Amino acid sequence: MESVGSIIMYWIIALSIVIFSVLTVTTRKILRAATYLLFTLFATAALYFKLDYEFLGAVQIAVYAGGIVVLFVFSILLTTHPGDNSEKLASRKRLLGFSAALVTLVVTGYALISRCANVFTRLPEMSTPDMSRIGEVLMGTGYGELLLPFEAISVLLLACIIGGVVVARKR
């Protein structure tokens, strides 16, 4: 049996994920969409904290909320007038998008609820993975350890830096 505080925290996190995701895609001011995205990412980080992955929650806040959203806000201010509303959607286009999202929701939700409603009914016990363990898994070369993907990511980031400079520089 879970404590009342844990249940209240769960509902706050789940409701803010749902509400802010909907607001992100329905608001007509683009800067507000970026702000609602920030709140959605914070709620996701809170979900990671609740599931005992504290390092992952910290990374989510640092990289997403600290890096990507700032990048979004900068590029929005560079390319659009902040006060502008986006134009009203044609109803056909909106209907198309809405029905695609609804079909995805209904089909996947039905599959989930019919298959997964009664399995894994309680959170298994787990202590928070400590940093030395995370570091060993990330940098080790043994079975199931991830030095090669780590190096590949670093090369990818380097290529991304060079590509960004080349693409965005003034001719």
Partner 1 sequence: MGTIIWYLIPALVMFCCGVYGFMTRRNMIAMLISLELMLNAVDINFVVFNRYLYPGQLDGMMFTLFAIAIAAAETALAIAIIINIYRSAKNIDVRDVTRMKF
Residues of this chain, 92-151, that bind partner 1 according to CB under 8 A:
93-94, 96-98, 100-102, 104-105, 108-109, 112-113, 116-126, 129, 133-134, 137-138, 144, 146, 149
Question: Is the CB of 83 or the CB of 126 nearer to partner 1?
Answer: 126
Instruction: Provide, rounded to whole angstroms, the least separation between the CB of residue 83 and partner 1.
Output: 14
| Helices and strands of the chain, counted as H and E runs | 7, 0
Whole-number minimum distance, CB 113 to partner 1, in Å? 7
Q: Closest approach of Cβ 69 to partner 1, in Å?
A: 9
Residues 4-33 close enough to bind partner 1 by CB under 8 A: 6-7, 10, 13-14, 17-18, 21-22, 24-25, 30, 33
Residue list 32-71, contact with partner 1 (CB under 8 A) = 33-34, 37, 40-41, 44, 47-48, 51-53, 55-56, 59-60, 63-64, 67-68, 71
Is the Cβ–Cβ distance between 38 and 68 less than 8 Å? Answer: no
Q: How many residues bind partner 1 (CB under 8 A)?
A: 84
**Distance in Å, CB of 142 to partner 1, minimum:** 13
What's the DSSP call for residue 80? Answer: S
- Count the helix, strand and coil residues of the chain and give each as a percent rounded to the nearest 5: 75, 0, 25
Rounded to the nearest whole angstrom, what is the least distance from the CB of residue 72 to partner 1 in the complex? 7
10, two tokens: 């769960």
Question: Distance between CA atoms of 58 and 42, rounded to whole angstroms?
Answer: 10
Q: Evaluate whether 71 touches 91 at the Cβ level (below 8 Å).
A: no
Q: What are phi and psi of 84, to 5 degrees?
A: -65, 140
Tokens of 138: 């990330």
